[in-house]
């Protein structure tokens, strides 16, 4: 049926479809963050999006499906961005450069999270157990972060710029730290009285030098 339609219409339709889909996705993110996935009703989402109940099912197979797409889209974006900005760090030699590249990385990450806003909140609030595909996507994102961290630690150890340590444990620790801080700031909205840059610098200082004096 759609095959016989002129291209112009087809494009218009697709665009309209994309808009609708995007609207629903945005509305869903908003509602899921506000009430949590389980307490959010499909009717809440369609009300927020200003469409009818049935329209939801033109774009998503099930209620879980919209969460999956939300998480997938967001995770893929973040993973993509991480891949881009994490390569800078890999070959730094001196401590100052290490500090700077780490700070730059965190600032990039935090800005990314800040812009994604609602979708990020959904990802960070860790809606687990809804669907194995979602669990996989969330695990994948965390795993990518851990891998980046671990790879950097090992490269640094090889080049002598980082002390000998258990890269697995420390990578997990670093990622846990970042997730927690990101959750506080981007989901709960607790800015802790600092800008993104200040936050990144403080965290990198902690990561590199620890808390001990000297």
| Interface contacts to DNA, rule CB under 7 A | 1-2, 5, 9, 13, 16-17, 20, 40-43, 51-58, 62-64
Q: Token pair 């797409």 is at which residue?
A: 69
Q: Which is nearer to DNA, 1 or 212 (CB)?
A: 1
The distance of closest approach from Cβ of residue 204 to a second copy in the complex, given in angstroms and rounded to an integer, is: 9
E strand or H helix at 199:
helix 196-209
Q: Which is nearer to DNA, 62 or 195 (CB)?
A: 62
Distant-in-sequence, close-in-space partners of 60: CB < 8 Å, separation ≥ 6: 24, 66, 69
∠25-19-33 over CA atoms, to 5°? Answer: 15
Closest CA to 112 of 101, 103, 120, 104: 120
HEC assignment per residue over 177-189: HHHHHHHHHHHCC
Q: Which is nearer to a second copy, 140 or 205 (CB)?
A: 205
Residues that bind a second copy (CB under 8 A): 35-36, 38-39, 95, 98, 125-126, 128-129, 153, 156, 160-163, 165-166, 168-170, 172-181, 183-184, 192-194, 199, 202-203, 205-214
The distance of closest approach from Cβ of residue 28 to DNA in the complex, given in angstroms and rounded to an integer, is: 11
């Amino acid at each position: 049926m759609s095959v016989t339609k002129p291209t112009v219409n087809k494009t218009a339709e697709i665009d309209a479809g994309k808009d609708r889909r995007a609207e629903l996705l945005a509305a869903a993110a908003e509602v899921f963050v506000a009430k949590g996935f389980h307490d959010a009703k499909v009717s809440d989402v369609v009300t927020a999006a200003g469409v009818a109940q049935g329209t939801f099912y033109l774009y998503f197979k099930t209620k879980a499906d919209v969460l999956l797409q939300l998480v997938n889209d967001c995770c893929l974006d973040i993973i993509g961005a991480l891949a881009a900005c994490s390569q800078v760090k890999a070959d730094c030699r001196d401590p100052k450069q290490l500090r700077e590249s780490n700070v730059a990385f965190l600032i990039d990450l935090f800005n990314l999270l800040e812009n994604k806003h609602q979708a990020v909140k959904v990802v960070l609030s860790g809606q687990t157990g809804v669907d194995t595909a979602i669990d996989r996507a969330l695990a994948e994102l965390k795993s990518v972060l851990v891998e980046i961290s671990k790879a950097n630690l090992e490269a640094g150890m090889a080049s002598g710029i980082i002390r000998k340590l258990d890269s697995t444990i420390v990578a997990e620790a670093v990622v846990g730290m970042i997730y927690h801080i990101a959750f506080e700031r981007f989901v709960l909205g607790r800015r802790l009285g600092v800008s993104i840059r200040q936050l990144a610098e403080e965290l990198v200082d902690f990561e590199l030098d620890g808390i001990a004096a000297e």
